[in-house]
Amino acid sequence: AQSVTQLDSQVPVFEEAPVELRCNYSSSVSVYLFWYVQYPNQGLQLLLKYLSGSTLVKGINGFEAEFNKSQTSFHLRKPSVHISYTAEYFCAVLKTSYDKVIFGPGTSLSVIP
Amino acid sequence: DVKVTQSSRYLVKRTGEKVFLECVQDMDHENMFWYRQDPGLGLRLIYFSYDVKMKEKGDIPEGYSVSREKKERFSLILESASTNQTSMYLCASSSVRRDIPYEQYFGPGTRLTVT
């Protein structure tokens, strides 16, 4: 069965420092990959997605992620974080054949002033 | 601006009550989904629908049912609420159009407490 692992449940980071949120998935077939963000008391919003093409994808607010097929990873990066980025971040995977999206357990990013 | 709305942000119900959670999307999306979100477990799919009057079980359908009588509306029903159904419930929709495949749009969530 397909699964998504987010290795860090909580990531504290100081404001203006860089951050990487890790995501690994298990799948032997081609996939679509997504990162969603959930701010407190809100629903999820799409940050970025990988469908095909360039393995480095850019999303909103300067976030970027790199698809690594050999390592089955899709890590999210931000060179400098702002306190407003404190939120829950979810990695998600969908097989390219029509299927359900599988979400990871989430990583709670806390930006410390 | 695309929008998914949920009928309530907060709801408190008693054990055994029948509970209705409503979700409406204004994007003419074919697909609609109900998830529950619990700390440390991420989002778990309860039910989804690919078209009007069609429904498919997700990973945790027990204790829930759904209804989709119109394309824009997807209802989640707790037939007899129990305390272990206390959770955040999220509705989402997506399109099968080639230019925006599978990207899901979420509502703000309903935090349900069953006492």
Residue numbers in B near A51 (CB within 8 A): 101
Which residues make Cβ contacts (< 8 Å) with residue A19, sequence separation at least 6?
A11, A13, A77, A78, A81, A109
CB contact under 8 A, B43 and A49: no
Mean pLDDT for chain B overall = 91
Tokens of B103: 């990207």
Q: Which residue of B has its CA nearest to A51?
A: B101
Q: Which residue of B has its CA nearest to A93?
A: B102
Q: What is the pLDDT of residues A21-41, one digit of tens each?
A: 999 998 767 788 999 999 988
Q: What is the pLDDT along chain B (115 residues), one digit of tens a residue?
A: 668 999 999 999 999 999 999 999 998 998 899 999 998 888 999 999 988 988 999 989 999 999 999 999 999 999 999 999 999 999 999 887 655 567 889 999 999 999 9
Position of tokens 């029948």?
Answer: B18
Stretch A66-81: mean pLDDT: 94
User: For residue A2, how far is the Cα from the chain centroid?
Assistant: 17
Which residues make Cβ contacts (< 8 Å) with residue A91, sequence separation at least 6?
A4, A6, A21, A23, A25, A33, A34, A35, A74, A76, A103, A104
